[in-house]
Structure 1
Amino acid sequence: MPLLAAEGPSRRSVLTMIGAGLLVATLPAGRALALTTGEARALIDRLVADINRIISSGMPEQAMYKEFERVFSQYADVPTIAASCLGPAARQTSAAQMRAYTQAFQGYIARKYGKRFRDFIGGQIEVTGSRQVNSFFEVTSVARLRGQQPFDVRWQVSDRSGANKFFNLIIEGVNMLATERTEIQAMLDQNGGDVARLTAALQRAG
């Protein structure tokens, strides 16, 4: 079962291009790219090893979600992803509100994608390659689940935050960033554009 719902090829292509463009635009500037192809792959090798360990551990569901949140916090550029998903409102939000929103966003993502990674129980993710794409690196992997055809999982990695982190995930052509930006914007609208109310909603969502 894919982590995200399958969509038509044209939609997948649009999501992929939009998501990559959004993240490149929001990555912190002013630092030369020092990350290498090998380092990007090594980061995702460690991340995938952690995910495989969690899904094969047999731990209870809630404990699994906590582990996924730890992994997301450790390997993902959470502040950049959270700010990009929030959009223009991020520039109008106080530092304290932004911290609270980012923490709530982290838990929301961990629960949401943790539920989908639970479907990987009995399966495996295998890293297959790495390449530079403009100002970031893309690491490719294949998810092999019991009773299903293998499918493609791509991780986009940068060191612009000051550390090697992944900032986007593309599963079978469906872009996590583009998907979550749409979701967060819709939730923000539902909460009257109030980031504090959005934060409270995220704490219950996922």
Structure 2
Amino acid sequence: MKQPLIALIAALSALAAPALPAAAQVGSASAASPGDPAARPFVEALVGDGFAILRDKSIDRQAARARFRQILQRDVALDDIGMRLIRRQRTGLTPAQLSAYRAAFPEFVLNAYADRLYDYADARVQVQRTIGRGPYTEVYTRVTRPGAQPIDTIWQVKTRDDSSGGKLQVNNLVVGGVNLSLTQEADFTSYIAKNGFDALVAFLKTANARSLAVQAGNK
């Protein structure tokens, strides 16, 4: 399987996916209202937290990984994203299959990308504007790195209306015009079609175990 483009990880790397609603496919920037006024400071704080981890020389990779896990759990709709990626297969899955996938997916996101984030510690993100699109607010940012072309990134932020108390969470990301939810969903769908759903879960678990072994060897 090619390496997936998971929303938050790509977002932090660029410092940087429920059935996919039409709002997740970013439209023209000429539309409508600025959306939820809390979305802009939310994204700025999220990016700032990510940079703080990357640039903190006093902590090792294991401690940094633990902090990234906290960010994922707090600020990213991981379960929604994970279930979106398998929306076409979900009705045919057993409760045990769903449970195994939901347990493996968040850790896979972390283990697959945490160490790669350090390549982007010198990046800078500037928020340019926000646009409201139904239940979402799109936060437009420009990512710059020394010696590299700028990358325009759009964070899709949703105010949750469930037991989370309505807190904001990242629901999708568009990087350089690429909708990461759609890209990742296509990747998972292709893998499942060729290998089966249980093979996907086994792949996620194997990747997690391999990453943990590498971490142990680097201590």
* Alpha-carbon distance in structure 2 between the residues aligned to 1:76 and 1:99: 19
Q: Which residue of 2 aligns with 1:183?
A: 187
Q: Which residue of 2 aligns with 1:55?
A: 54
Q: Indicate the SS of the match to 1:137.
A: strand
Q: Is the 8 A contact 1:152 1:171 kept in 2?
A: yes
Q: Is the 8 A contact 2:23 2:134 kept in 1?
A: no
Q: Which residue of 1 aligns with 2:118?
A: 118
Aligned residues: 179
**1:171 pairs with 2:175:** yes
- Match for 1:85: what amino acid? L
Question: Is the alpha carbon distance of 1:25 and 1:170 closer, same or farther for their aligned partners in structure 2, counting shifts above 3 Å?
Answer: closer
Report the TM-score when normalising by structure 1. 0.72
Structure 1, unaligned runs of 5 or more:
5-18, 28-35
Q: Is the 8 A contact 2:131 2:137 kept in 1?
A: yes
What are the Cα deviations for residues 113-137 of structure 1, in whole angstroms up to 9, with x where unaligned? 4354322122222333211023311
Q: Is the 8 A contact 2:135 2:159 kept in 1?
A: no
Q: Which residue of 1 aligns with 2:67?
A: 67
Q: Which residue of 2 aligns with 1:205?
A: 207
Report the TM-score when normalising by structure 2. 0.69
Structure 1 residue 186, shift from structure 2 partner: 2.5
* Alpha-carbon distance in structure 2 between the residues aligned to 1:26 and 1:88: 19
What are the Cα deviations for residues 105-157 of structure 1, in whole angstroms up to 9, with x where unaligned? 11222233435432212222233321102331101122221221221121101
Structure 1 residue 98, shift from structure 2 partner: 2.1
Question: Is the alpha carbon distance of 1:138 and 1:116 closer, same or farther for their aligned partners in structure 2, counting shifts above 3 Å?
Answer: farther
State the superposition RMSD in angstroms: 2.9
Question: Is the alpha carbon distance of 1:41 and 1:94 closer, same or farther for their aligned partners in structure 2, counting shifts above 3 Å?
Answer: farther
Larger mean Cα displacement after TM superposition, 184-193 or 38-47: 184-193
Q: Is the 8 A contact 2:124 2:145 kept in 1?
A: yes
Q: Which residue of 1 aligns with 2:109?
A: 109
Question: Is the alpha carbon distance of 1:181 and 1:145 closer, same or farther for their aligned partners in structure 2, counting shifts above 3 Å?
Answer: same
Question: Where do 4+ consecutive residues of structure 1 move more than 6 Å?
Answer: none
Question: Is the alpha carbon distance of 1:190 and 1:70 closer, same or farther for their aligned partners in structure 2, counting shifts above 3 Å?
Answer: farther
* Alpha-carbon distance in structure 2 between the residues aligned to 1:104 and 1:191: 17
Q: Which of these two proteins has the greater Rg computed from alpha carbons?
A: 2
